[in-house]
Amino acid sequence: MKTKVLYDSFVQRGSTTDATEIVELETMLLNGGKITRRKFKFSYYSGNAFERFQIELFDGDKLNPIANMIDLNVAPNSSAYNIFGKQETLERVNLLMKKGYEYIKLLY
């Protein structure tokens, strides 16, 4: 499976973090060897007492949700007192992205 990053952003303002990555994954179907390209959006949002991660598939018209943190077997951090610093947040985002790629590979 080939991966091409089309867009990548990370913004942290105070206790709020937004991270987005849009990727194009290229897979080859076993029957006939046809190559397919699919675009996925990985979105991470966190702040005081909430944390969300979502994976969406772009079907050509709209984004369709396909997975979230619970699907990846990662519990959201909802503590109002545990606010991640930049390094901790980057590690958390990287963990979720890695698990997201593994999840997508199982589906496609």
- Domain layout of the chain by residue ranges: 2-107
13-37 pLDDT, tens per residue?
A: 988 899 999 999 987 766 667 888 8
Please, which residues have CB within 8 angstroms of residue 58's CB and are 6 or more apart in sequence?
A: 38, 39, 40, 41, 64
What's the rounded Cα separation, in Å, for the pair 17 and 14?
8
The pLDDT assigned to 32 comes to 67
Over the chain, what is the mean pLDDT? 90
Nearest one of 45, 16, 19 to 7, comparing CA atoms? 19
Q: Which residue would you say has higher pLDDT here, 49 or 12?
A: 12
Q: If you average pLDDT over residues 1-8, what whole number do you get?
A: 90
> Torsions phi, psi of 54, nearest 5?
-140, 145
Q: Taking a C-beta distance cutoff of 8 angstroms, is the pair 22, 37 a contact?
A: no
35-46 pLDDT, tens per residue?
A: 888 999 999 999
- Name the pLDDT band for 77 (thresholds 50, 70, 90): confident
pTM of the model: 0.88
Q: If you average pLDDT over residues 79-93, what whole number do you get?
A: 84
